[in-house]
Structure 1
Amino acid sequence: MKLHQLRALLAISENGSIQEASRLLGISQPALSKSIKELETELGVSLLVRSNRGITITGYGERLVRSARLAVEEVQRAQVEIDTLKGNIGGRVAIGVSPVTPSRQFADCVQAYRKRHPEVQLQIVELRPAKLLEGVREGQLDMALTSQPMPQELDGLHWQQLYTHVTTLAVRKGHPLSGARSLHQLLDQEWLLSDPLELTQARELFRAHQVEPPQRIIECDSVVLYVELAGSTDAVSFWSRRMFNLPVVSDALVPLEIAESTPRSGISLVSRPTELLTREARSLFDDLVEAFREAPL
């Protein structure tokens, strides 16, 4: 497999059109089609299906796209690192964060890093936990700070818990169950979660107390809309307790004082193996570990 073939496949996958992919890559459509055909011949499988409705990626193609994206990102990263060593440019570091990333420690760390590496292009992207891990796996992010529980299968990721914080259930002010004292009183209500149940600490809440999860769950990965829904509906929502330091949350919601303990939620630093990180990315990685060293676990 050649790099230009992988880039061709990625461009078609991302744009759904050979015509648009050829325009973006600056090559002719016949040359682009030839690259894909050579790749299919080498692998012995069909990667694309052409029809009147356009281009469809086959199952084989989807699997190769994931690997191709990582390969292309690695080559680009290597080119940037070589240029940095030559003194041409300052490099680039991309870090993903979740909405509950502790802001003070992170902000202080970024400020110190920028003073030491003013030439580095630093990109900070806020995504839901599942998307953060996808970005790290595909090489679009160098690292991520995520609140997602550590999965059983790490798939080659380096996972280091930095910090934990208290969680709570909450309902809107004036909710009929704002005085609830038991988890069982809430199970017939609609629930609001920011991610699929299996990716949240709410799953641990039900498991720890041997309670069947509620049947009605709304998943909302928009932070702003999550706050609005929590404050304007009767749904029970799950929160990091530190979010109640924000007036937009504390003015609309009431934390529930139930008998069952809610699990502490962890903030973890996730990357691919640290030896694959560029010098600039490894420097930020080490800074974050040090910044959170004194945070309570």
Structure 2
Amino acid sequence: MKLHQLRALVSICESGSIQEASRLLHISQPALSKGIKELEAELGVPLLVRSNRGITATEYGERLVRRARMILEEVRRAREEIDTLKGVMDGKLSIGVSPVTPGVQFVDSLNRYRKRYPKVHIQIHELRPSKLMEGLREGLLDMALTSLPATRTDGFHWQELYAQPTVLAVRKGHPLRNATSLAQLREQDWLLQDSLEQSKVGTMFKDNGVAWPENVIECASVVLFAELAATSDAISYWSLRILERTQMMMQTLDILDIAEPVPPMNISLVCRDQELMTREAKALADELIYVYTGPHTLKAPASTVAT
């Protein structure tokens, strides 16, 4: 199994065409086809199949493609690590965030990092928390800022950075705008960016002995989430920072004042084992941990580590 074969397989599956993969990799089509046939012969299974959708992966091919992406990312990181050891930080840094996670301190830290390492190519991807973890697992992200609770089973380092205050809100004129308890809101529609299982809203209901609401709308689009919150009768869960920074939303929503405390979003930095991180990624991770939690945690950024 050779790297050029894995690159060919990933490129063909992503483009759906040997012709397009040939163009992207600057390799002739016969050479690509030969590499795939040799790989199939080595493994003893078919990896690709032609269909009316073009070329798609078989079940064997899909499994190998997932592994191949991680292998190719590791090779890229290894090369960048060698380059930085030569004295220049000029690799790539891929950061994942959800709409609610970056704060002022994150932006300030990123600006300082850019001035310190101007040749590092930074990519910032805004994704749902579940997609952030998927990006980390597939090696597409070097680190992520997420509101998901830490887990001991994923093999990543989790460092809690800070807590964002949150509120529940309804549109102006909502019939329950003066509600005083969670129980009064249970039978309403709820608007969340993640599932109840992943959202602190689910925890809030559980901690207060109230059954989960049955009608939940999950919306990952920030713009559509705001529009639904302002025009429907759904109860929406907001980061107070986001709400306060959006003047239009403050004019169209009422913040609910209920007896139960609304749990904050605990924002964590999630990254790979330090020995596997590139110098570019480790430099930013150290900066963020220092800014949010102080210098005493720089040597041990992992609050939980899977073994």
**TM-score, normalisation: structure 1:** 0.91
| Structure 2 partner of 1:245 | 244
- 3-state SS in 2 of match to 1:133: helix
CA contact (8 A) 1:149 1:200 kept: no
Shift of 1:84: 3.0
Q: Deviations over 1:136-192 (max 9, x none)?
A: 2222221111112224522x2111111112222211111111111122222222111
| Structure 2 partner of 1:286 | 286
- 3-state SS in 2 of match to 1:96: strand
Code of the residue aligned with 1:175 in structure 2: it is H
Counterparts of 1:88 and 1:150 in 2: how far apart (Å)? 34
Counterparts of 2:228 and 2:177 in 1: how far apart (Å)? 16
Shift of 1:227: 0.9
Q: Which moved more, 1:28-37 or 1:166-175?
A: 28-37
Q: Is 2:112 the partner of 1:108?
A: no
Q: CA RMSD in A?
A: 1.9
Counterparts of 1:259 and 1:43 in 2: how far apart (Å)? 62
| Structure 1 partner of 2:130 | 130
- 3-state SS in 2 of match to 1:251: helix
Counterparts of 1:204 and 1:45 in 2: how far apart (Å)? 46
1:191-202 paired onto structure 2 within 5 Å: 191-202=190-201
Counterparts of 1:292 and 1:71 in 2: how far apart (Å)? 33
Cα 1:26–1:116, aligned 2, differ >3 Å: closer, same or farther? closer
Q: Is 2:27 the partner of 1:17?
A: no
CA contact (8 A) 1:158 1:270 kept: yes
CA contact (8 A) 1:173 1:253 kept: yes
CA contact (8 A) 1:145 1:268 kept: yes
| Structure 2 partner of 1:213 | 212
| Structure 1 partner of 2:40 | 40
CA contact (8 A) 1:48 1:61 kept: yes
Counterparts of 2:249 and 2:51 in 1: how far apart (Å)? 50
Cα 1:230–1:79, aligned 2, differ >3 Å: closer, same or farther? same
Shift of 1:59: 2.6
Counterparts of 1:25 and 1:102 in 2: how far apart (Å)? 35
- 3-state SS in 1 of match to 2:197: helix
CA contact (8 A) 1:191 1:235 kept: yes
| Structure 2 partner of 1:74 | 74
| Structure 2 partner of 1:188 | 187
Q: Deviations over 1:211-247 (max 9, x none)?
A: 3322222211111111111111111111122223221
| Structure 1 partner of 2:298 | none
Cα 1:38–1:213, aligned 2, differ >3 Å: closer, same or farther? farther
Shift of 1:87: 4.7
CA contact (8 A) 1:95 1:142 kept: yes
Counterparts of 1:11 and 1:18 in 2: how far apart (Å)? 8
Shift of 1:92: 2.1
| Structure 1 partner of 2:157 | 158
User: What are the ranges of 5 or more consecutive residues in structure 1 without an aligned counterpart?
Assistant: none
User: % of aligned pairs identical?
Assistant: 60
How many residues of Structure 1 are paired with residues of Structure 2 in the alignment?
A: 293
1:266-281 paired onto structure 2 within 5 Å: 266-281=266-281
Shift of 1:47: 2.2
Q: Which moved more, 1:272-281 or 1:108-117?
A: 108-117
Counterparts of 1:290 and 1:173 in 2: how far apart (Å)? 41
| Structure 2 partner of 1:50 | 50
CA contact (8 A) 2:200 2:265 kept: yes
Cα 1:39–1:197, aligned 2, differ >3 Å: closer, same or farther? farther
| Structure 1 partner of 2:304 | none
Q: Is 2:166 the partner of 1:167?
A: yes
- 3-state SS in 2 of match to 1:187: coil
Code of the residue aligned with 2:197 in structure 1: it is E
Shift of 1:88: 6.5
Shift of 1:269: 0.3
